[in-house]
Chain A
Amino acid sequence: MSSSAPTIVVTGLSHTYSRRETKLEVLQDINLSIGHGEYVSLVGASGSGKSTLLSILGGLERPQTGVVRVAGVDLASLSGDGLARYRQNVVGFVFQHFGLLEALTALENVELALTLAGMGTSARKRRSAELLESVGLSARLDHRPFELSGGERQRVAIARAIANEPQLILADEPTGNLDVESAESVASLLESLRDRDGCTLVVVTHNPAMAALADRHLLLRGGRLVVDGSARLPVSGQVPETAPWAGAADGLE
């Protein structure tokens, strides 16, 4: 499911982390375009730059070189508050560690995203309850994160991610801390959201089953985008280095 109008356009993106005298080039000359409503898996070994690319796309970090446009907005041109508004309204994040605030209940965690967006108390409470109901957690509204299972926590996080109806959902190994059953449930939930809301979904994953659901696969190796393909992946085995198309990357490097 893809559209001709791209949601994400990345041109010549490079990114370097400096620590004292050491410089680590984590992304090198990335060029890509992701269409509206696409489901993209972002794969690669640890340290290949997946999380950095996700952070830049999500406005958590500013692009150092190159241009990153999301929903027509050049992220480098945004101020601090502008980036906060962008993260609030355009992007929804789902983290491997769930990212729920331990002091808040499931309902309050979802509500927080709406609070930050300036929604009134009664409206946001109502919407938060609806969102949690839509992810099958209507009985868990007042539970705090430590009272929920891993799968339930991730569903709360997903409900929070979609609270402000984002155009782009960025998921960083959303099934990484889940058992097989919960992982499948979360993977299918994300896919159904994409199908239902038509948002773009970029997922960093090592889970072959989850990667297999994507329309398109991006493989990063050493900070470079070495494969941008749409070959169907097997639903088991390792991702990405043993993927059928991974070998092609050797030839690209």
Chain B
Amino acid sequence: MGWSDAIAMAGRELLRRPGRALLTMIAVALAASLLTALVAVATTARTRVLDQITHGGPLASISVAAAAPNPSQAGLDNPTPGKAKVLTSTALAEMRAAKHVVAVVPVLQDSVEIEPIKPVQITPTVKVAYPPYGANIVGVNLGQVSSLPVSLLVGKYPSPGSLTEVDVTQSYLAHLGLAQNQGEKVIGTDIELGSYEILSHRFSIGLRFDDVEIVGVVDQQAGSGQIVAYPSLVLGLFDWTAAGLVNGDRDAPQSPYAAALVEADQLADVNAVRNEIATIGYSSSAPGNVIVSVEKYLHVIEIILTAIGAVALGIAALGIANALLAAVRERRREIGVMKAIGARDRDVMRTFLVEAGCLGLAGGILGTALGVAIFLGIGDLANSYLTSQGLRGVPITLAWDVPVGAVVGAAVVSVLAGAVPAHRAAKMPAREAVEA
């Protein structure tokens, strides 16, 4: 008897007692849904925790300071940098060329005067006005946001290369007296960014104002500043300031880069890349050691949650074994008849294994679909809560291996559970056919 014949036969037998088959399948489905949901939630929680540590940046992210390395701090996640050192384009190019480096994103930083063009409307009746104040603006290529510790909370990122759109951080909201979850109040408001130029006359200061629109609120650790924009905008301000400094100050910086962010291939390569950066001559920091420690704890949690799901699947497997043992008892004579008309032991065994596999596969597919739906529901709820609190949401994504693993796992466990009844059926004496 071939597999296709065994499948057809098993299908008929399962449909013969649909109630029993349905209940057994539901048990598998519930177990598979629990397993899927738990694993998916554990995976998402892991992502969320690591995301929190890296501020939305990649795990293998390295911050390079515009400073020389401090040999006494080598190997630390956050070493105290050595003497300030200009971060040149040449140095950045060397980092890009280093082994295991995926991306190098330079960070520009400049001090600006922030001045509202008009008060911010908090409620229909309340407006917040504030006097001009000094803060920093950070310029990074937001087109490479996946390589940056920058994540959007509300609104959007500035349009690529925009000179008129910026994002702000929650520090800006705090300056306005707004709560973390009131980010949308500043979206669409305009501010002026004032930058200084020390003119060649020692005590003269030139001021340049750029009108920009706030289009989003972000959480960022790319640099130190309340305003985030594309480098083109910051470079304009920087050049304006630098032009004056060059004229009047011999110590004017040679490079606009305040720092750089380097992304390594993977977490395991971070130390090698950091060593390379030190060789090039710069101090770097990365939360690698913290991440490794946290990952170990998270892995324990994943194992526990997976084990809970696996126990549920084990119980469902016992249900399958029980149902099939009952079927073997009921079908003693039929099994004898099958043998009497020429079925070999393995033909009988195959039929029962296929029955178990069908129950497991159907239950696995149904349960996994349910588990994915539960996970998506929980994810939506969690994100609604996080967003309402002005926090970064959780990326609700599910790796393909979780549902596939759950379906395959349910089928395999079910087949294993069916092995004992199938073996018992296969070894049933053919004489059962003539027993009364």
Partner-binding segment picked from B30-38, B152-160, B253-261, B331-339: B331-339
Chain B residues contacting A164 (CB-CB under 8 Å) are 342
State the Cβ distance, A148 to closest chain B Cβ, in Å: 16
Contact of B434 with A172 in the complex, beta carbons under 8 Å: yes
27 contacts between A and B (CB under 8 A): A54-B434, A55-B431, A55-B434, A58-B340, A61-B429, A84-B343, A84-B344, A84-B345, A85-B342, A87-B340, A87-B342, A88-B341, A93-B337, A93-B341, A93-B433, A95-B434, A97-B333, A101-B338, A102-B16, A103-B15, A103-B16, A112-B9, A112-B338, A116-B347, A160-B341, A164-B342, A172-B434
**B13 within 8 Å of A by Cβ?**
yes
Contact of B345 with A80 in the complex, beta carbons under 8 Å: yes
**B179 within 8 Å of A by Cβ?**
no
Chain A residues contacting B343 (CB-CB under 8 Å) are 84, 116
Q: How far is the CA of A112 from the CA of B16 in the complex (A)?
A: 17
Chain A residues contacting B431 (CB-CB under 8 Å) are 55, 60-61
**B97 within 8 Å of A by Cβ?**
no
Closest to A157 in B: B337
Q: Top 9 A-B pairs ranked by shortest CB distance?
A: A88-B342, A99-B337, A103-B12, A116-B342, A60-B430, A103-B16, A84-B344, A113-B341, A93-B340
Q: How far is the CA of A93 from the CA of B340 in the complex (A)?
A: 7
- A residues at B contact (CB < 8 Å): 51, 54-55, 58-61, 80-81, 83-85, 87-89, 93, 95, 97, 99-104, 108, 112-113, 115-117, 160-161, 164, 172
State the Cβ distance, A204 to closest chain B Cβ, in Å: 9
State the Cβ distance, B195 to closest chain A Cβ, in Å: 83
Most buried by A among B338, B433, B434: B434
Contact of A112 with B429 in the complex, beta carbons under 8 Å: no
Chain A residues contacting B16 (CB-CB under 8 Å) are 102-103
Contact of B12 with A104 in the complex, beta carbons under 8 Å: yes
Interface residues on B, range: 20 to 34
Chain B residues contacting A83 (CB-CB under 8 Å) are 430
Closest to B430 in A: A60
Q: How far is the CA of A113 from the CA of B342 in the complex (A)?
A: 7
Q: How far is the CA of A83 from the CA of B339 in the complex (A)?
A: 10
- B residues at A contact (CB < 8 Å): 1, 5, 9, 12-13, 15-16, 333-334, 336-345, 347, 429-431, 433-434, 436
- Known: A87-B342, A95-B434. Contact between A60 and B429, CB under 8 A? yes
State the Cβ distance, A98 to closest chain B Cβ, in Å: 9
Closest to A105 in B: B12
Chain B residues contacting A172 (CB-CB under 8 Å) are 434
State the Cβ distance, B316 to closest chain A Cβ, in Å: 24
- Known: A102-B16, A103-B15, A104-B12. Contact between A116 and B430, CB under 8 A? no
Q: How far is the CA of A6 from the CA of B372 in the complex (A)?
A: 68
Chain A residues contacting B339 (CB-CB under 8 Å) are 60, 84, 87
Q: How far is the CA of A113 from the CA of B344 in the complex (A)?
A: 12
Closest to A116 in B: B342
Closest to A83 in B: B430
Closest to A97 in B: B333
Chain A residues contacting B15 (CB-CB under 8 Å) are 103
Most buried by A among B336, B341, B429: B341
Chain A residues contacting B5 (CB-CB under 8 Å) are 115
Contact of A87 with B333 in the complex, beta carbons under 8 Å: no
Contact of B342 with A84 in the complex, beta carbons under 8 Å: yes
Chain A residues contacting B336 (CB-CB under 8 Å) are 60, 99
Chain B residues contacting A80 (CB-CB under 8 Å) are 344-345
Chain A residues contacting B12 (CB-CB under 8 Å) are 103-104, 108
Most buried by A among B12, B430, B436: B430
Contact of A99 with B433 in the complex, beta carbons under 8 Å: yes
Q: How far is the CA of A51 from the CA of B347 in the complex (A)?
A: 25
Closest to B11 in A: A103
Chain A residues contacting B9 (CB-CB under 8 Å) are 103-104, 112
Contact of A60 with B341 in the complex, beta carbons under 8 Å: no
Given contacts A60-B339, A60-B429, 6 further A-B contacts (CB under 8 A): A88-B342, A95-B340, A97-B436, A103-B13, A113-B341, A116-B347
Closest to A46 in B: B436
Q: How far is the CA of A159 from the CA of B337 in the complex (A)?
A: 14
Q: How far is the CA of A84 from the CA of B344 in the complex (A)?
A: 6
Q: How far is the CA of A104 from the CA of B341 in the complex (A)?
A: 15
- Known: A54-B434, A60-B429, A115-B5. Contact between A81 and B340, CB under 8 A? no
Closest to B16 in A: A103
Contact of B433 with A60 in the complex, beta carbons under 8 Å: yes
- Known: A103-B12, A115-B1. Contact between A89 and B430, CB under 8 A? no
Chain A residues contacting B434 (CB-CB under 8 Å) are 51, 54-55, 60, 95, 172
Closest to B427 in A: A80
Q: How far is the CA of A61 from the CA of B336 in the complex (A)?
A: 11
State the Cβ distance, B95 to closest chain A Cβ, in Å: 66
State the Cβ distance, B256 to closest chain A Cβ, in Å: 76
Closest to B5 in A: A115
Q: How far is the CA of A47 from the CA of B431 in the complex (A)?
A: 15
Chain A residues contacting B334 (CB-CB under 8 Å) are 99, 101-102
State the Cβ distance, A131 to closest chain B Cβ, in Å: 13
A61: contacting residue among B1, B344, B430, CB under 8 A: B430
Chain A residues contacting B342 (CB-CB under 8 Å) are 84-85, 87-89, 113, 116-117, 164
State the Cβ distance, B16 to closest chain A Cβ, in Å: 4
Contact of A116 with B341 in the complex, beta carbons under 8 Å: yes
Chain A residues contacting B433 (CB-CB under 8 Å) are 60, 93, 95, 99
B430: contacting residue among A87, A101, A104, CB under 8 A: A87
A101: contacting residue among B1, B337, B344, B347, CB under 8 A: B337
Contact of A99 with B340 in the complex, beta carbons under 8 Å: yes
B337: contacting residue among A54, A55, A95, CB under 8 A: A95
State the Cβ distance, A185 to closest chain B Cβ, in Å: 22
State the Cβ distance, B368 to closest chain A Cβ, in Å: 28
Closest to B346 in A: A81
Chain B residues contacting A112 (CB-CB under 8 Å) are 9, 338, 341
State the Cβ distance, B323 to closest chain A Cβ, in Å: 15
Q: How far is the CA of A128 from the CA of B345 in the complex (A)?
A: 24
State the Cβ distance, A75 to closest chain B Cβ, in Å: 12
Closest to A56 in B: B431
Most buried by A among B337, B340, B347, B430: B340
- Known: A51-B434, A80-B345, A81-B344. Contact between A116 and B337, CB under 8 A? no
